[in-house]
Structure 1
Amino acid sequence: MRPQTIQIYLPAGDPRGVRVAEITTRIVRVIEAPRSQLGEFVKTPEALQVGVYFLMGELSEAGLPRVYIGQSSSVGNRLAQHNQNKDFWNRVLVVISLTNSMTQTHALFLEWFAISEATKAGRYSLENGNTGARPHTPAPLEADCHEIHETAATLLATLGQPIFEPLTNAPTARGEKELFYCKGSGADGVGEYTTEGFVVLKGSQARLEIVAPLQDTARSRNREKLIEEGILVKQSESLIFTRDHLFGSPSTAASIIMGRSANGWDTWKAANGKTLDELKRQTVAPTA
């Protein structure tokens, strides 16, 4: 990570309307448009360019935002088609070149790489289905693509869509991670407290059954959706997390793991036995 200057331009002055984002020293631009204003975007010169696009939509059953990733030699025309035949999306983000130098070869590799990286990150529910085959790309163009992708990923995250950002925290300079543990009857969870909430790590074990008071509640329904989407899978006498999963709070994560109501601030503990509350909340003292 390094400091960067990002410019966001609002053509109509509306922060929820069309937004144009650039890193001031790069040639990549990301244009975001609500579906209701797609007609305005397709009339612009940028809509005639080669581009990679991201259709953003409503939440999946397990609460993950949905995305469809595509590319086109005339991105505006392709989006007009999707406006007719894809229902789930409500916003689109389009990656183009300021110098109009992106080719179809670039776009095909960027589409494949973006699907692969989004799948790896596990933040979004992909509507594409699978990554497909890696397209043949000459080495110089592939190097260009990695630079374009890096810039696009930063701009997408800045616009509120961290599609490629890891769920977990980066290791410290010594290669260490601050992990928290949640253990109980049939439960053995491992997770990280992050800037966005609490991430339960792949391989964590959740109790198979939930207690009666938790049945027919929002948390039990959330648990069922995680099972339906394959994020929680039955294995022996427990449920296993098949991938890292972000929860909005430590308590929600603990309740899913334990199969009962739980105060995550006290339930999640570091290896030294200190609670999440002691290490993260009590250290923030009010000023005099």
Structure 2
Amino acid sequence: MKKLRPKTIQIYLPAGDPRGVRVAEITTRIVRVIEIPRSQLQDFLKMPEAQQVSLYFLIGELSEAGLPRTYIGQSGNVGKRLSQHNQENDRGKDFWNRALVVVSITNSLTQTHALFLEWFAIGEATKAGRYSLENGNTGARPHTPAPLEADCHEIHETAATLLATLGQPIFEPLSNTTASAGPKELFYCKSSDADGVGEYTSEGFVVLKGSQGRAEVTPSIRGTSNERLRKQLVSEGIMSPVGSMLEFTRDHLFASPSSAACILMGRPANGWTEWKAANGKTMDEVKRQVVSSVADLS
């Protein structure tokens, strides 16, 4: 379990626009991440970093399963590569509206760094399961000398922190697994049509990998957005048939406990009563009623 340490992060606005180009860096590191709205790509192309070797991320519209879409790439001249992605003939990657590029302040990244970082980033993003990756394949691990590989892991760690700071937690697990988060508080949904485990987080409700629900939906949700979402989760491999059930192949974030329960059970559900702690208390008792009682005392 990774221990988090305090950090100082600086975000610079070249044009003074908080919604425009933003440059983020940890003050003691040599790596910076530049966030570029697609509409302001021409401004980035004027920056010296546009000529550098870079790992980059294209971020855009949600997939049908509700996950933000991303493409992870690398280039020896990132400005030129982003310009190619911006062309009309690059239809396969026309989903993006922002790019984030990882560069070295000392311009010391090599093509070998970039190839390893691309391969490693795709694997880590796939494991995290937060984003729908538009990469056609995971690529092959390039031959990387041990000292250079060690540098790449440090670069990746810095880039991951900066990406999350800029609102793109591509590599962060959905479940609370950091040392500072303390013990997990799990909730269970067990019935004749479900055997699920989940976690209530600051972002929503996460159904954990291995949770199982009924394969067929009830007539009450047929033709609804919930049935369409369920089908899309199956189509994207997030839920997979196992016997007469559907099983989550990875952790998946839902906006609410009720949405999570409905998709898991294949029927309308009130997640605040369906999800229960290990002691049998409902989420409503553990979370909402506790908040209400504290508010009454204040």
**Residue 13 of structure 2 corresponds to residue 10 of structure 1:** yes
Are the equivalent residues in 2 in contact too, given 1:185–1:258 (CA < 8 A)? no
The two structures, once aligned, show a CA RMSD in angstroms of 1.7
Partner amino acid for 1:73? G
Instruction: Select the residue among 105, 121, 143 that pairs with 2:128.
Output: 121
Deviations 1:208-262 (A, max 9, x none): 2222222222212211211221211222211111111111111100111122221
Partner residue in 2 for 1:160: 167
- The Cα shift of 1:283 comes to 2.6
- The Cα shift of 1:23 comes to 1.0
Partner residue in 1 for 2:68: 65
- 2: distance between equivalents of 1:71 and 1:248? 32
**Residue 25 of structure 2 corresponds to residue 22 of structure 1:** yes
Partner amino acid for 1:65? P
Are the equivalent residues in 2 in contact too, given 1:61–1:229 (CA < 8 A)? no
Identity within the alignment, %: 75
Change (3 A) 1:260 1:277: same
- The Cα shift of 1:65 comes to 0.9
**Residue 88 of structure 2 corresponds to residue 88 of structure 1:** no
Partner amino acid for 1:160? G
Secondary structure at 1:79's aligned position in 2?
helix
Q: How many residues align?
A: 288
- 2: distance between equivalents of 1:171 and 1:271? 22
Change (3 A) 1:40 1:175: closer
Partner residue in 2 for 1:139: 146
Partner residue in 2 for 1:250: 257
Secondary structure at 1:132's aligned position in 2?
coil
Partner residue in 2 for 1:42: 45
Instruction: Select the residue among 109, 120, 126 that pairs with 2:116.
Output: 109
**Residue 220 of structure 2 corresponds to residue 213 of structure 1:** yes
- The Cα shift of 1:176 comes to 4.7
**Residue 245 of structure 2 corresponds to residue 238 of structure 1:** yes
Are the equivalent residues in 2 in contact too, given 1:66–1:127 (CA < 8 A)? yes
Instruction: Select the residue among 272, 277, 280 that pairs with 1:273.
Output: 280
More deviation in 149-158 or 185-194?
185-194
- The Cα shift of 1:42 comes to 1.2
Instruction: Select the residue among 257, 270, 289 that pairs with 1:282.
Output: 289
- 2: distance between equivalents of 1:29 and 1:277? 43
Partner amino acid for 1:30? V
Secondary structure at 2:33's aligned position in 1?
strand
- 2: distance between equivalents of 1:174 and 1:110? 28
More deviation in 182-191 or 92-101?
182-191
- 1: distance between equivalents of 2:26 and 2:83? 28
- The Cα shift of 1:175 comes to 8.4
Change (3 A) 1:74 1:256: same
Deviations 1:145-187 (A, max 9, x none): 1111101000000111100001111266898532211122221
Partner residue in 1 for 2:187: 180
- 2: distance between equivalents of 1:132 and 1:52? 14
Deviations 1:1-42 (A, max 9, x none): 122111111122222211111111111110001111111111
Partner amino acid for 2:200? Y
Secondary structure at 2:56's aligned position in 1?
strand
- 2: distance between equivalents of 1:2 and 1:231? 33
Deviations 1:57-92 (A, max 9, x none): 111121111111111111111111111113111110
Partner amino acid for 1:127? E
Partner amino acid for 1:231? I
Partner amino acid for 2:71? Y
Change (3 A) 1:189 1:153: same
